[in-house]
Structure 1
Amino acid sequence: MAKNKKQKRLIFRSVILLILIGAVVFALVTNLKKEEEVVAVGEQAPPFELKQVNVDGEQTLNLHEDFEGKGVMLNFWATYCDPCKEEMPYMQSLYPKYKEKGVEILAVSVDATELVINNWISKNELTFPIVHDQKGAVMDAYDVFNLPSTFFINPDGTVERKVDGALTLDKLDGYLEEIVPESEK
């Protein structure tokens, strides 16, 4: 009977070990797959269409169609993100200057509700377009894990630069200058 218990324990341990090995293999394969999907500098920015907030009616913005030929600063943020809140005034202060130069600032909010976003926009008098990624699909497509994360996209739709973390006014100004269309320089 003791031999039978030892065999059962050995089988149980073997099954547990196989399950753990399977989990490790799954995690490795998943991470390798994710690394392949990362939006890299020089690659085409993934297309998307999202609902714009704080506008009358149902209006959507399409990255490739609505901003064709423009430089685009694509900023992922949320109202609960303190570094995001710190860089928003810089974005607003530079927006009129760069809009005239053919560069658009597009902020993608990952907040849960539009009410929170709209209150933040009104309170801070933001005028650049803000869209709502309620389901996180665009955040996933761009492989964003940290907020804020910003992609600077050239007029041809390729990613010029990706920045994780908050931007200073000087850095933001310089990065926006990099994506000004040639016709506007």
Structure 2
Amino acid sequence: MSTEKKSNKKKKRTIMRSVILLLLVAAIGYTIYNSVTADEVEVLKVGDAAPDFTLTDLDGETHKLSDYEGQGVFLNFWGTWCEPCIKEMPAMANQYEEYGDQGVQVLAVNIAQSNFEVETFARQYGLNFPIVIDRDKSVMTAYNIRPLPTTMLVNPQGEIQRIVTGEMTEQDIAGFMEEIKPE
């Protein structure tokens, strides 16, 4: 190989290494910038006012949390792929039958799945309460939801009365609905 070809190969290798190094430095810089300037999401706690939101259900009707003032709201965040969610949904439907007429509303907030997936799931399990879809995960973010399922019990005054993470039994659900039932 001639020295000119070796020199060209060396130049190309140096340029390629420089480009890769520049990309790595840019990626690290971007990551640092994002973490420093990221909005702090306030963690909700018992006693806080429940953030208001408006979402659309599977029938195209809008549900605004503040419209339920004066009633207890069993606000459940879930996904069709979530095993504990699947197990507790029929129990929620049973307890909604019991407590719906007593001023306790169930609002199931699905996290960004398609209408088809959610409708199929709701039909399969015979769900009888409003199911809304948080398409852009803005409500999930406002409520700082991790993990699924998470249920926020909102009392008739619009305050978070209890935060429940993980699977609930039917007995748990009945007790929680009793807690937020208007007097």
Question: Do they fold alike, i.e. is TM over 0.5?
Answer: yes
Over the aligned positions, Cα root-mean-square deviation in angstroms equals: 2.0
Paired position in structure 2 for 1:97 = 98
Identity of aligned residues (%): 38
Equivalent residue in structure 1 for 2:61, among 59, 62, 71? 59
1:39, CA displacement in angstroms?
Answer: 1.5
Aligned residues: 157
The reply on whether 1:46 has 2:39 as its aligned counterpart is no
Equivalent AA in structure 1 for residue 143 of structure 2: Y
Paired position in structure 2 for 1:158 = 159
Superposed, 1:54-93 pairs within 5 Å as 55=59, 58-65=60-67, 67-93=68-94
Unaligned runs of 5+ in 2: 1-24
What secondary structure, in the 3-state scheme, does the structure 1 residue paired with 2:70 have? coil
What secondary structure, in the 3-state scheme, does the structure 1 residue paired with 2:151 have? strand
Paired position in structure 1 for 2:171 = 170
* Cα distance between partner residues in 2 of 1:171 and 1:28: 41
| Superimposed CA distance per residue, residues 13-66 of structure 1 (whole angstroms, 9 cap, x where no aligned partner) | xxx8xx78x93x9747858x33xx11211010000000111x2xx31111102x
* Cα distance between partner residues in 1 of 2:34 and 2:69: 39
Note closer, same or farther for the CA distance 1:29–1:168 as it changes in structure 2 (3 Å cut): farther
* Cα distance between partner residues in 1 of 2:36 and 2:92: 38
Equivalent AA in structure 2 for residue 150 of structure 1: T
Q: Is residue 76–residue 109 contact of structure 1 (8 Å, CA) maintained in 2?
A: yes
* Cα distance between partner residues in 2 of 1:43 and 1:29: 25
Q: Is residue 51–residue 131 contact of structure 1 (8 Å, CA) maintained in 2?
A: yes
Note closer, same or farther for the CA distance 1:48–1:93 as it changes in structure 2 (3 Å cut): same
Paired position in structure 1 for 2:122 = 121
Equivalent AA in structure 2 for residue 60 of structure 1: T
Moved over 6 A (4+): none
* Cα distance between partner residues in 1 of 2:127 and 2:113: 19
Equivalent AA in structure 2 for residue 62 of structure 1: K
Q: Is residue 111–residue 117 contact of structure 1 (8 Å, CA) maintained in 2?
A: no
1:112, CA displacement in angstroms?
Answer: 2.2
Q: Is residue 50–residue 61 contact of structure 1 (8 Å, CA) maintained in 2?
A: yes
